[in-house]
Chain A
């Protein structure tokens, strides 16, 4: 099944064109890595897919499970199973983590026509997910990302993903700011969530994440276009040679 089809996607911020014709098809169960130098458009792509404001789509279309994704509001995309793990998860002081988790899960369940979970059922569900990211139950009662370390924030994102069970998860630089132990924990969490009916898009600058979460495909994004596609060996090549050869190759 085709999870996501991006066809000739062009997007601008103001009058600056950032995405300049992206084509990408992702099937259910696949893991894709999108790599590229700073300024290539990686974060713009994840924001456009998640429905963040401030971007103008000038051309192209995006189908999610065959449905036009771009005409849905951000919360509608989320309710339908599009999940973005943020590069910089925001703090929401005074709102307990568990409150947000419950509100988020119930928003998704409501869309699915399911009843809201009561407090007891919810708590046992969320407890069952904590182990996956090696989080202590105390985390649930702290303010959302309030005073969390970089590693804790990223684990919290994966906890949310585990709870919401999205069909399409976009991990935006989930490895950035993580030490090696935290990277392992987060990666194990993500690996535990791989399944035949879930697609994962990893956006990353570095190859090291791919040692832990092995992608089926690696794409190189440069100057708003996918300039090269390969398997995980491509990532290793990039690690050795840097991005400059890709960019040069593109110029030729």
Chain B
């Protein structure tokens, strides 16, 4: 067997989260109209201001065209063929205590390695579990509330804290921002809401685990995190979906707001079903994530490990408004088989002495296409802005592609911008070297890839770093993990 064949064999792997939970759901029939928007709002008994906002978003969306600038190819999405709401049947409204959660759902999360039992392994982590369109469980809410921290499903926060929602919703990502953000604004069904009060350091990791289960549905979640002055929070999201032959749409919006001296660390481990080796099925992941460093000396850091999805279109960005604010983007994007990823970031420097760091690691295997797209913009008032960008691509085999699209716009002469890029291959020399030292091909590939991503992986919270490493190995290998 040649080493190319061995690479191929190592790459042929099963998606571990591809099972379907057999559970009764209330699902909207496919179709999108103003009535769909009203119906979602009605289901959630939303206040008038939110319905109005949704409708504005919907009517704006109707005027928009699908963006086509990304380096991805996929068949046109029929928005009338999608169901926009699906929720497991339940007897009462709102998230329940764990005792009342359907055991089938608990088993689902258990199987995914996200035990919802508060006494379980991830005891230092509070979890919001979003299943299709709704939050089904939310742990440690009460304990966090003792510190004044709000961590709850979005749909519940709308009722409990309407003033905060009104103030912050759409303040970072306007419903007019782009095609998918407008769609999400009209149709979002749930997500997580986090508020960390002034001077509070959130004592545990917060996390939301997104699961798409129902067929032919789209998931449109919305996450809003606010860190008030001098607050700190570390938040992690994870995502999986069953294996299906149809493509499914996931269009999320995440907004982060950091006030004076606040810090938000947001980590993503994205493992949506990527489709099979021939590109059949998989999630279309069109996500708008943006943070506003509004306060002085505030800091936001995005870390993402993207291994799933048939199409990834995602640019977690940071607006550095406050003077001395800091933005960081650390990304590992793995594409295999027929996957396509177009991902990167935007760092918008507006305040003085703002600095940003971008470290992007793209790994392309199979026949996949992996693109980094990043914008660094320095506004006219952003004295002494600094940016350092490094994007590295690793190619496995000779049928995949890695692309880099950096954009730099500088309107202030005091700016210092550095950009480094490299493209390399896992060479047969490297593989043979490792094998000659006794490692099998699986272990060798895993070691080489993890070495390549090390700078990014070490940004992840401890609790997840090992899981993310295993996931990385699993996406690329057959037997490791």
Contacts and interface: CB of A to CB of B under 8 A. Distances in A.
Interface in A63-98: 73-75, 77-79, 83-84, 86, 88-90, 92-96
Interface stretch (A47-55, A185-193, A214-222, A224-232): A47-55
Interface stretch (B102-110, B340-348, B424-432): B424-432
A95 B450 contact: yes
B2 A107 contact: no
Given A53-B3, A94-B451, A100-B447, A78 B427 contact: no
Interface residues of A, number: 33
Contact of A73 (B435, B437, B452): B435
A95 B451 contact: yes
A136 B2 CA distance: 37
A94 B437 contact: no
B219 to A, nearest CB: 34
Contacts of A11: none
B433 interface: yes
Contact of B453 (A75, A83, A86, A94): A94
Contacts of A77: 436
B440, B450, B451: residue with the most chain A Cβ atoms closer than 10 Å: B451
Nearest to B455: A94
B443 interface: yes
Interface in B436-465: 436-441, 443, 447-448, 450-455
A92 B430 CA distance: 7
Interface string B404-444: 00000000000000000000100111101111111111010
Interface string A106-127: 0110010000000000000000
A13 to B, nearest CB: 13
A89 B433 contact: yes
A141 to B, nearest CB: 12
A150 interface: no
A199 interface: no
A104 B438 contact: yes
Nearest to B430: A90
Given A52-B432, A92-B433, A111 B451 contact: no
A94 B439 CA distance: 17
A77 B452 CA distance: 27
A103 interface: yes
A160 interface: yes
Nearest to A110: B438
A74 B432 contact: yes
A108 B440 CA distance: 11
B436 A84 contact: yes
B433 A75 contact: no
Contacts of A37: none
Given A93-B451, A94-B454, A99-B447, A104 B437 contact: yes
A3 interface: no
B2 A78 contact: no
A11 to B, nearest CB: 16
Interface string A3-40: 00000000000000000000000000000000000000
B426 to A, nearest CB: 9
Contacts of A78: 435-438
A89 B450 CA distance: 20
B29 to A, nearest CB: 50
A143 interface: yes
B114 to A, nearest CB: 29
Contacts of B440: 75, 107
Nearest to B447: A95
A86 to B, nearest CB: 7
A84 B440 CA distance: 16
A144 B105 CA distance: 45
A202 interface: no
A172 to B, nearest CB: 11
A207 B358 CA distance: 51
Instruction: In the A-B complex, list the 10 residue pairs whose CB atoms are closest, starting with the nearest.
Output: A94-B451, A95-B451, A107-B438, A104-B437, A78-B438, A74-B435, A94-B454, A75-B435, A90-B429, A79-B438
Given A75-B441, A95-B450, A164-B437, 8 more contacts: A75-B436, A75-B440, A79-B438, A83-B436, A89-B433, A94-B451, A94-B453, A103-B437
8 contacts: A53-B428, A75-B435, A83-B436, A95-B447, A104-B438, A107-B437, A107-B438, A160-B437
Interface of A: 50-54, 73-75, 77-79, 83-84, 86, 88-90, 92-96, 99-100, 103-104, 107-108, 111, 143-144, 160, 164
Interface of B: 1-3, 424, 427-430, 432-441, 443, 447-448, 450-455
